[in-house]
Amino acid sequence: MKYCKWILLVGVLLSYFIAPYLPVSWGWENSLLEWLQVVILALGLFLTCVWWQEARSAGDRPAARFLIWAIPLWLLMIGRELSWGRVFYPSGFHAIDGPSFLPLSQLPYGPFVNPALAVIIIIWLWAVIKYELFKVPYRLLQEGRFPVSELIITVLAFIAAELGERHLHLQNMEEFDECFAYLGLVLTAYCVRNALRRIK
């Protein structure tokens, strides 16, 4: 696992050169890369649930509490990648830009999405403050156990994805780097989970 972060870094650094050779359709909404991102995030969600159950069974309440409140973050990221369900409501197709989808306001549940998101975020912030969850990564950082390099590579991948979309207008690069960014999040979560187990 120690080489995974360097593989991710190489992927991010080469993404600008690789993206032009990928099929144009991979940069469209609802494309192969976007569904791969959902799969990666779903893996992160699944692993976090497993780790939470392990911590709970071991009686490690602080770790279990931290992990269970990480679950909503994975769910929110999955929802975002699915455009809050818009991907299941195609409205047309363009030969260059690919498929288009109904606006959120026209979906049957559309008016409830933003209020539901607000409630989830408020409850999550309440939990972070009430249980002082923000102290967990700070404590790991103080003890030299926080996966700083993994997180930095993840942030670099998100920055590269933003550059690809906003400045270079390379849609494939954006989607390609987002895959690496989400893999980086999974790797960072894995390292945090291991660090939590070692400080029991």
- Sign for the CA dihedral angle at 52, 49, 77, 16 comes to positive
Q: Provide the whole-model pTM.
A: 0.92
- Sign for the CA dihedral angle at 188, 194, 196, 199 comes to negative
DSSP structural state of residue 3: T
Query: Which structure tokens are listed for 31?
Result: 């494309």
pLDDT per position as a tens digit, 39-80: 999 999 999 999 999 999 999 999 999 999 999 999 999 999
Mean pLDDT, range 111-127, rounded to an integer: 95
Buried b (16+ CB within 10 A) or exposed e, 68-85: bbbeebbebbbbebbbbb
pLDDT per position as a tens digit, 125-176: 999 999 999 999 999 999 999 999 999 999 999 999 999 988 888 899 999 9
**What is the reported pLDDT for 151?**
96
CA 5 → CA 8, 27, 93, distances in Å?
5, 24, 37
Residue 90, φ and ψ in degrees, nearest 5 = -65, 145
| Domain extents in the chain | 4-198
